[in-house]
Amino acid sequence: MTAIPPILLVGCGRMGSAMLTGWREQGLSPSVAVDPAPASAALAGADLTVVPDADSIPAGFSPAAVVLAVKPQSAAEALPFYARYAGKAVFLSIMAGRTIAGMQALLGGDSAVVRAMPNTQAAVRQGVTVACPSPAVTDAQRTLCDRLLSAIGVVAWVDQEVLLDPVTAVSGSGPAYVFLLAELMEKAAIEQGIPADLARLLARQTVSGSGALLAASAEDASALRVAVTSPGGTTAEALKVLMEPAAMPTALSQAIAAATRRSRELAG
């Protein structure tokens, strides 16, 4: 496999660092990262120069992609410093809520921008990212962005940017829903008299193991649910409660709708 071409990574937070780790596993050409945090200097190596600001980027450095991994609220201040790369590099943004049009207004109207929504499983290379390209993105640039995102998990592409709002609500926010399930299972186990350390083990391993089984199976989630639910058994009794019309089905639907609305508000 050929090395990943030179990248300019703007922001070395949790997601930016996860992506960097994935790129290094595949081989990364000499690249540059911009982050003022003192801890970011520890990421430097033969393949990466870390600088505190855009003015410190080495003269003559020409990245194939500029990966925007800063906080969304910093975009208006940060992005204009990188407009000099418009027309030369593709901009890959993982900033939640920042639209393609909004970024192009800061980078240049004809800039090639890919807006992507990854999730926190990127830290263990098990993430899922949905990406949407602007019309200016070439096939080669899309292929490069797909490779950069594939380093942290599965990638799916959409042509309609509006889909990124519900995507954010499902997969972007989704890990929190799963963590809440584990949290509530642990609490309920303790309420039933199970020792706290065992309750935590049971809840976490049940959630993570079920996820692994779901990922490995070609069956629908509903078919797997039915397979573990014996008629008249303990699981069936629990599901009577969870699947009441006003319980889990409605609550989760409302939660995802609320997150979708908020994503649109933040993008607005």
Answer whether 4's CB lies under 8 Å from 62's CB. no
Question: Is residue 235 situated within a structural domain?
Answer: yes
37-80 pLDDT tens trace: 999 999 999 999 999 999 999 999 999 999 999 998 889 999 99
Average pLDDT, the chain: 95
213-228 pLDDT tens trace: 999 999 999 999 999 9
Identify whether residues 124 and 225 lie together within a single domain.
no
Mean pLDDT confidence for 188-199 = 98
User: pLDDT at position 109, please?
Assistant: 84
Answer whether 32's CB lies under 8 Å from 63's CB. yes
User: pLDDT at position 268, please?
Assistant: 63
pLDDT above 70 coverage of the chain, percent: 100
Identify whether residues 11 and 54 lie together within a single domain.
yes
**Taking the model in full, what pTM does it have?**
0.89
94-149 pLDDT tens trace: 998 899 999 999 999 889 999 999 999 988 889 999 999 999 999 999 999 999 99
User: pLDDT at position 264, please?
Assistant: 86
Q: Which residue has the tokens 């393949």?
A: 47
Question: Is residue 72 situated within a structural domain?
Answer: yes
Q: Of 158, 182, 208, which one is at a domain's C-terminal end?
A: 158
User: pLDDT at position 261, please?
Assistant: 92
Q: Of 132, 158, 184, which one is at a domain's C-terminal end?
A: 158
Residue 162 has pLDDT above 90, yes or no: yes
Q: Which domain holds residue 114?
A: 7-158
- Look at the chain and report how many structural domains it folds into: 2
Identify whether residues 183 and 136 lie together within a single domain.
no
Q: What is the CATH number of the domain that holds 208?
A: 1.10.3730.10
Residue 267 has pLDDT above 90, yes or no: no
Q: Of 173, 167, 96, nearest to 130 (Cα)? A: 167
Identify whether residues 19 and 131 lie together within a single domain.
yes
Question: Is residue 167 situated within a structural domain?
Answer: no
174-185 pLDDT tens trace: 999 999 999 999
Q: What is the CATH number of the domain that holds 70?
A: 3.40.50.720
Question: Is residue 123 situated within a structural domain?
Answer: yes
